[in-house]
Chain A
Amino acid sequence: NAGVTQTPKFRVLKTGQSMTLLCAQDMNHEYMYWYRQDPGMGLRLIHYSVGEGTTAKGEVPDGYNVSRLKKQNFLLGLESAAPSQTSVYFCASRGSNPGQENEQFFGPGTRLTVL
């Protein structure tokens, strides 16, 4: 099993450009999450999904959109990138069975720079 994978690993954008980050998991997990990690700050939740076709806002959703068309994939979109969105983005997933509620499995991250 590959676990949680993210593409791309690195990306440089110019202000105003758009892009989509892809997260895929092969563990049949119901729940998926997008976080951003900035120096000196904890991971912050951007958006999450409790199942295929559903999405919900997290702590810092502005400037981002998400979609969960397939259970195994969770997409994070930036419609008009801003320098403040320079960050490392992590995707995570977790199962829904008893005992799985608390452990989130993280992907390797995408390092995004917006010039």
Chain B
Amino acid sequence: EDQVTQSPEALRLQEGESSSLNCSYTVSGLRGLFWYRQDPGKGPEFLFTLYSAGEEKEKERLKATLTKKESFLHITAPKPEDSATYLCAVQSAAGGYNKLIFGAGTRLAVHP
């Protein structure tokens, strides 16, 4: 069964304190792995898609990496505006483009 587990559930950082969020997955043939950002009371907002082990994507202070079993979202020198819940999702070859399996998310709080 396809499964996505994110850790930690919650993370508190001081402004400028770099860290990483983890997304572990088991899937029957990975088609793609996705990272979304979700602000309180809003819908998820797309950040990155990763397709194969070794691939990396960057956007401002965020960098996503992928291995055969997990993905990391590295946050470098975070600012308070990076506070949000970060969601990871996978698409399997069996499920196709229409079925995303989401993790429960990591709530990130960055304090000044």
**A interface residues with partner B (beta carbon < 8 Å):** 4, 31, 33, 40-45, 48, 50, 56, 58-59, 90, 92, 94, 101-109
Restricting to B48-96, which residues have a CB under 8 Å from any CB of A?
Answer: 49, 87, 89, 91
Contacting residues, chain A, for B41 (C-beta < 8 A): 108-109
Distance of A50 Cα from B44 Cα, bound (Å): 21
With contacts A40-B104, A45-B100 taken as known, whether A108 is within 8 angstroms of B42 at the C-beta atoms is: yes
Contacting residues, chain A, for B42 (C-beta < 8 A): 108-109
Contacting residues, chain A, for B46 (C-beta < 8 A): 103-105
Q: How far is the CB of B109 from chain A (nearest CB, A)?
A: 17
**B99→A58 contact, CB < 8 A:** yes
Distance of A58 Cα from B104 Cα, bound (Å): 18
Name which residue of chain A comes closest to B36, CB basis: A106
- Does any Cβ of A come within 8 Å of B27's Cβ? no
**B43→A42 contact, CB < 8 A:** no
With contacts A42-B105, A43-B87, A109-B41 taken as known, whether A104 is within 8 angstroms of B100 at the C-beta atoms is: yes
Contacting residues, chain A, for B4 (C-beta < 8 A): 42
Contacting residues, chain B, for A101 (C-beta < 8 A): 97
Query: Beyond the given A42-B102, A94-B97, A108-B41, could you list 18 further A-B residue pairs with CB under 8 A, ordered by the A residue number?
Result: A4-B43, A31-B97, A41-B104, A42-B87, A42-B104, A43-B87, A45-B100, A50-B98, A56-B98, A58-B99, A59-B99, A102-B97, A104-B46, A106-B36, A106-B44, A108-B42, A109-B41, A109-B43
Contacting residues, chain A, for B98 (C-beta < 8 A): 31, 33, 48, 50, 56
Contacting residues, chain B, for A59 (C-beta < 8 A): 99
Q: How far is the CB of B8 from chain A (nearest CB, A)?
A: 13
Q: How far is the CB of A60 from chain B (nearest CB, A)?
A: 12
**B99→A45 contact, CB < 8 A:** yes
Name which residue of chain A comes closest to B101, CB basis: A42
